[in-house]
Every structure is written in structure tokens, then in C-alpha cells.
Amino acid sequence: MSRTSTVIAGNWKMYKTTCEAKTFVESLAPLIKKSQATVYLAVPFTAIDQTVQVVKELGAPITIGAQNMNDAAEGAFTGEIAARMLKDVGAGFVILGHSERRQIFNETSAFINKKVKRALKDSLQPILCIGETLAQHESGETESVLKGQLQGSLEGVTSEELSKMIIAYEPVWAIGTGKVAHPDDAEKAHAFVRSVLAEAWGKEVADHIVIQYGGSVKPENAVDLIRQPNIDGLLVGGASLSADTFSKIINGLLA
């Protein structure tokens, strides 16, 4: 992975049945066949196997992944799912540390760190999410929060391992609210994240790692965001639920 690759990832969250997922991929595939972007799609656990099969059948340029996983290889953890299980059904990546996991399910950076290490050990690419709340943003704590989340979530991760990951900056106040960080502000945050990575894991890794922006991304703001020097991709929530809308973001078209 290099920064020349623009990575557009869709995160469906708890939406779409297996049938709906299959129909979506069948609709999306022809719309993005000429796109130069690298396309990821994080679907519900139940839809991974089916969407992977459809992608293969269509020869579509889409990597299917998961939205979460447990940090254990296996065990008596009712309702949980392991990285090996996700790999077994064809998942190529997993989203970890999403603000909804941190805020709603009280996941700490220390716990997310265990998940990151497990994903790397089991050859599942992590997309690590970081981001500040509105209160933290308004009180000027953005940089300290981002640095703390990076350090905590990546503790013990080597430079070589980090080079296999994707980082997603998602300001919590912009997720599902319709608010979006101004491109200049998003760029400033991304540049800061890259500087933290450079200081701790080396400039070479920091220069090449993909750092995505997420938070109310739409066709209307996607182009301005992706033009920023340190924004290498987008993590798209609600707008990824429509094949037409998501394809416009992927193709860089305005609605």
C-alpha cells in the first residue's frame, strides 16, 4: 500500500441483510469498474461470505471486510467473533476503534490495542479509527486526544506492522451528524497524525501509510477532502448504503 492509492472504504454498520448486500454489490460493481480508487466495504458479519462470493463472480475491484472483532484467537466468548473466522469467510480487513465502539461499548485504547495486534498476527489488515468528541474539539484538545489514542492503540506495534495498516481520522462530532470538518481543519489533523506516526515509528512509514478521513462524507464534500495533501482516502458511513451515492464518491463525481 502506498499513498498513491486512494482508499475509499464504506462502513455499513448494522444495515443490510445478506440479500440486500448481494444486490448492492451487483449494482455497485458496474458503476466503479473504471475507478482508480481502492475500494473497501465493511459489511455485517452475516453478509461477508455472500458478498465475497459475489465480488469474485463479478470480478469487481472491491475488498470485503468486517467492522469489529475480538482480541482472542478463540475461546468461550459468547457472541464474539475471531480474526481467523473472518479470514475464513474471505474478509481482507477489519475496522477497529470506531468511535461507536469507543463511545457506546466503552472500548479503551488498551483493548483496541489487543485487537490490532491480534488482527496483524492473523493477517487481517486493521483500519484503526481515532477521533475527538465535540467537547474535546471545542476545548482545543484535538491533538492531545489523537496522540493519546494513537499511542494507546498502537503500543508495541512495530514499524513493519504499522506499514500494513490504515489509519482513519473520524472526528466524533462529524459522524452521522451532517457536520463535516472543513477540508483545511481535516488536513491539519491528518498532518498532525502523520507527524506523531513519524516521531514514533519513523518518517518512511508515516510518509507511506494511508490516512483516511471519515465523518459525514458525501459526494458534495468528498472531492475537496481528498485533494488535501495528507488525506489519502475516505471512510464513508451513511453515504455508502446507496450504490449510486457511494459510486459518486468513489469516482470523484459531484451529485
Q: Which are the catalytic amino acids?
A: 98, 170
Length, in residues, of the chain: 255
Dihedral angle computed from the Cα positions of residues 100, 131, 144 and 117, in that order, rounded to the nearest 10 degrees: 70
The H-or-E segment that residue 215 falls in is none
**Which residue type occupies 10?**
G
Q: On the CB side of 191, how many CA atoms lie within 13 Å of its CA?
A: 8
Q: On the CB side of 156, how many CA atoms lie within 13 Å of its CA?
A: 13
What b-and-e string marks burial along 208-230, b requiring 16 or more CB atoms within 10 Å of the CB?
A: ebbbbbbbbbbbebbeebbebeb
Q: On the CB side of 77, how many CA atoms lie within 13 Å of its CA?
A: 10
CB 127 within 8 A of CB 95: yes
Q: Report d(CA 137, CA 121) in Å as an integer.
A: 34
Q: On the CB side of 248, how many CA atoms lie within 13 Å of its CA?
A: 14
